[in-house]
Amino acid sequence: MSYITTKDGTEIYYKDWGPKDGKIVTFSHGWPLSSDAWEAQMFFLASHGYRCIGHDRRGHGRSSQPWDGNHMDQYADDVAELFEKLDVKGAVMVGHSTGGGEVARYIGRHGTKRVAKAVLMGAVPPIMLKTEAYPGGLPLEVFDGFRAAYLKDRAQFFLDVASGPFFNFNRPGAKVSQGLIQSWWMQGMMSGHKNAYDCIKAFSETDFTEDLKKFDVPTLIVHGDDDQIVPIGNSALLSAKLVKNATLKIYPGGSHSLGDTSKDQFNQDLLEFIRA
């Protein structure tokens, strides 16, 4: 397996698919998953001639589980080290949920010298938490509830999230995939216990407003209007106003995990945006 070692000694796993001379597309995954969550998109784009690089965030998947550094600044700096060591240039950065925050903070801290375009799908920016500046956000009690359920029985909590709101399997008439539920659960259980716990604060309380204002590359924002994890009203609709010249695509009835539940449409939208 392929790893880089960061300055603080953390090993970051990555997969590198497709032709090495292809245009680069990078993938940042959601909480508490791994780069495996992007396999459908990486396979699709690599089959179309793109070099697809997906990494497991520190404390997730096959990467190290350091006690410290489980916050957005460090996640972005890890991506910067990965890009430097792989000499990534002209990349299309794609991020889902927490990974969308990772993309935003990377651009906010490191700029777009290695980035040609960005895609935020079901992403957490500008901020999930209800604040004075964002009164439409979710109250802190929601995330305290996440933490309590996680500490009480994280295996069952992960099973409940995957069986319900993450894929909208709790909606009437939903076609439930037991395979997706089990894959989500397995990826979640590979995360470090403290790392995933700390990441709840990172994805919910980090304010990405100033990062979004620094975007100076074409950006596609994709969101489901029935996203039960990251409600669209306080995320994509606001991000589309903060990112200059962003393109917003809303999937009617779409879930939080459009890469799975609206896979064909999302893959096609991704390909068209990259080619444009």
Q: Tell me the catalytic residues.
A: 97, 227, 256
Residue from 77, 76, 78, 123 nearest 102 by CA? 76
Tokens of 76: 């972005």
Provide φ and ψ at 176, rounded to 5°.
-80, 135
255 contacts 167 by C-beta, under 8 angstroms: yes
Provide φ and ψ at 188, rounded to 5°.
-60, -40
Beta bridge partners of 26: 53, 93
83 contacts 112 by C-beta, under 8 angstroms: no
Residue from 123, 120, 119, 115 nearest 24 by CA? 115
Residue whose structure tokens are 């995939």: 177
Measured CA to CA, the distance from residue 231 to residue 97 in angstroms comes to 11
Residue whose structure tokens are 């995330």: 143
30, burial (CB in 10 Å: exposed 0-12, middle 13-18, buried 19+): buried
Measured CA to CA, the distance from residue 28 to residue 31 in angstroms comes to 10
β-strands 2-5, 11-17 pairing: antiparallel
Measured CA to CA, the distance from residue 3 to residue 13 in angstroms comes to 4
Amino acid at 30: G
